Chain A
Amino acid sequence: MSRTDVETAGVGERPQPPRQPAARPSRPRPPLSREVVETRILGVLKWVTIAFFVIATIFPFYYMVMLSIRSIEDVALDPGALWPPRGISLAAFGEVLRSVDDGGQGFLTFLRNSALIAFTSVVVTLVVSILGAYAIARLEFFGRRQVHFLFLAVYLFPAILLAIPLFVFFTRIGLRGSLFGLILVYTSQIVPVTIHMLRNYFETVPESLEEAAALDGASRLTTIRKVALPLAMPAIMATSLFVFMIAWNEFLFALLFLVENRENWTVSLGLSQLAGSIEVAKTTLMAGSVILTIPIIVLFFATERLLVEGLTAGAEKG
């Protein structure tokens, strides 16, 4: 923005008569004050910018879908086409989804693995972090405040640093290649964040309801189950979605742990391995990308508001 220096230079001087916005429409032609010029220019710029962002964010996904339904010969002939010119073909999807025995890439198995890993990670992470978050939000115990910083400090370390000893450890005990080991790793990496999200929410839920339940003789676990959990449902849903997306999208640990065992590949891993072989057409690769992306996009659009509110809870405070 080249206008900034002009702007800051003029800030000190105040326009002499404080203009009344309400009085403006009565004047037939308002003089082109800076206010008017800026408002008009910014009004146009705003829409240009919105269009730019929408195109920049949506186009790659549109392109992905478009390539997945074109034949590779067609793409080679006319790479610049922005819509599928010669009809659509779903052959690439067939190839990706068919099992290896039928000459396909076996993505159905990968889908099953990814779903299994993602769902189990959600359940395990939720159980662990609901208990932990409730404890940190509600109960007084030694180290309650410190524990929080410890968890967040974990995020200073690169994932690749953690990957090394875990790789060694799982190789040594023979769990490398199993889905179980991967789920444990995901849970441990996500729990610090989900505890943070849930704790923030638990703290906004009024305590008096739980107190009433406790007075009526409910045990602590009953209180959590019958009172705190229903009240915290929005946050729990948002957290589940968050965990699901991370577990579904994850790549590095899946690559390190599962690569030698094709039966257990996730969709992300399967797709990345597919890209390595030369005989696989780019359109097939795009069909695989579409299959990998669709569950996430559907989930995201179905729950966008919930997710956004859950993720940024507490951010308003600055």
Chain B
Amino acid sequence: MREGPVVGAEEGPGDRTKAGDDRTRAAAGGKGPRPRRRGRTLAQQEARAGLTMLSPTLIVVLAMVVVPILWTIIISFQSLRLRNLRTRLFDFSFTFDNFQTVLTSAGFLEALKVTLIYSIVGTFLSIGLGLVAALVVRKPFKGRTLVRASMLLPYVAPVVAVTFVWQIMLNPELGVINAIGADWLGWKEPVAFLEQQSGTLSIFGFDLGVPTALIIVILYQAWRYFPFSFLFILARLQALPGELDEAARVDGATPLQRFWRITLPQLQGVIALLTVLRFIWTFNEFDDIYLLTQGGAGTEVVSVRVFRYLTGRGDIGAAAALSLVLALLLVVLLFLYFRFFVGRVEEADAI
């Protein structure tokens, strides 16, 4: 609790009662170094200054974020299309058609399924990789700074550039992956990784049907976003007190035991936070999938579908309705996560 610069300087910490505040404010108003405006206490001035300084933020966020969100709700009940934008924008004859359209359209459930698989597996993989990466560069070694920087590259590089490199690497004719597969692994024909909806993977003589493009898109997302988890887990790792680990070592716990019993439990908090953040972002992800596959070959997630409604069909109302469905679903999933998962973790901690 801060009381503002002047008050804090003039008074002892124990004296911050309401009356005390008023007294100093009066003093500051009377013979302060700078003449204060009449009739306003310091607290009022401070509140005014605070709100004034925050107002640009409030205006920008209100105008460009909050109002648009509310407006989306309205649009989702309008039959608004790109071509009747001029005439129908203020036509508020509400209809449920948009929701009916998007919820009953062919491929909606499939898109939902793909979104869930993509975000759950993607979140899991990117955090897992981040954890492994953080553990191996935890201790200093020569060239560590460079290794750490290189591990952050996928995350900081422009999405358009990295998706194109992946596309070309995976290209059936020109790509290096297929060339390596043909030269060294004996692939008989090139694999169109990003255009193939389902392929067969032969492991030990068993033929497994696999959704090729979806797997690639998930691997890509793990590759691109593990640096985020890596960064946060590494920061936490390096702030861990060494005593516990040292004590366990003296007691004869092996490195793996120390990891499972000492280190991992201390990372629980940051991993839980990362799970929520990464899940939200992956669930809402658009750029990466759109640029990699345009949502083709069984990789159409809901946000790509929203984009299709918006630009392909010019059906603004349906696009708004579907994006709202996406947002609501996320809220429900997060609620379930906090209710059942985090609750349990805390209970376990209490015991």
* Cβ contacts under 8 Å, A225 to chain B: none
* Cβ contacts under 8 Å, A67 to chain B: 168
Q: Are B160 and A154 in contact (CB under 8 A)?
A: no
> Which of A23-31, A92-100, A185-193, A230-238 is near enough to bind chain B?
A185-193
Q: Are B165 and A63 in contact (CB under 8 A)?
A: yes
**Residue A159, interface by CB 8 Å:** yes
Q: How far is the CB of A12 from chain B (nearest CB, A)?
A: 10
Given A53-B133, A140-B2: A80 touches B168 (CB 8 Å cut-off): no
- Which A residues between 231 and 276 are near B, CB-CB below 8 angstroms? 245, 248-249, 251-252, 256, 267-268, 271-272, 275
- Which B residues between 308 and 322 are near A, CB-CB below 8 angstroms? 310-311, 316, 319-320
CA of A171 to CA of B85 in the docked complex: distance in angstroms?
9
CA of A210 to CA of B7 in the docked complex: distance in angstroms?
12
- Which B residues between 28 and 44 are near A, CB-CB below 8 angstroms? 33-34, 43
Q: Are B2 and A191 in contact (CB under 8 A)?
A: no
Q: Are A61 and B157 in contact (CB under 8 A)?
A: yes
Q: Are A14 and B9 in contact (CB under 8 A)?
A: no
- Which B residues between 221 and 277 are near A, CB-CB below 8 angstroms? 223, 227, 231-232, 235-236, 238-239, 249-257, 260-261, 266-267, 269-270
Q: How far is the CB of B126 from chain A (nearest CB, A)?
A: 13
> Which of B101-109, B174-182, B342-350 is near enough to bind chain A?
B174-182
Q: How many A-B residue pairs have CB under 8 A?
A: 341
Q: Are A76 and B9 in contact (CB under 8 A)?
A: no
Fill in one digit per residue for B24-66: 1 if any A CB lies within 8 Å of its CB, else 0: 0000000001100000000100111111011011101101111
* Cβ contacts under 8 Å, A192 to chain B: 61
**Residue B5, interface by CB 8 Å:** yes
Given A158-B327, A220-B49, A251-B291: A131 touches B164 (CB 8 Å cut-off): no
**Residue A180, interface by CB 8 Å:** no
Query: Residues of B within 8 Å of A, CB-based: how many?
Result: 117
Q: Are A304 and B232 in contact (CB under 8 A)?
A: no
* Cβ contacts under 8 Å, A272 to chain B: 160, 291
**Residue A119, interface by CB 8 Å:** no
* Cβ contacts under 8 Å, B53 to chain A: 131-132, 134-135, 139
Q: Are A75 and B174 in contact (CB under 8 A)?
A: yes
**Residue A15, interface by CB 8 Å:** yes
Of all chain B residues, the one with the shortest Cβ separation from A134 is B53
- Which B residues between 43 and 100 are near A, CB-CB below 8 angstroms? 43, 46-51, 53-54, 56-58, 60-61, 63-69, 71-72, 75, 80, 85, 89
Interface residues of B (CB under 8 A from A): 1-6, 8-9, 33-34, 43, 46-51, 53-54, 56-58, 60-61, 63-69, 71-72, 75, 80, 85, 89, 132-133, 136-137, 145, 147-154, 156-162, 164-169, 171, 173-176, 178-180, 182-183, 223, 227, 231-232, 235-236, 238-239, 249-257, 260-261, 266-267, 269-270, 280, 283-284, 286-287, 291, 303, 306-307, 310-311, 316, 319-320, 323-324, 326-327, 330-331, 334
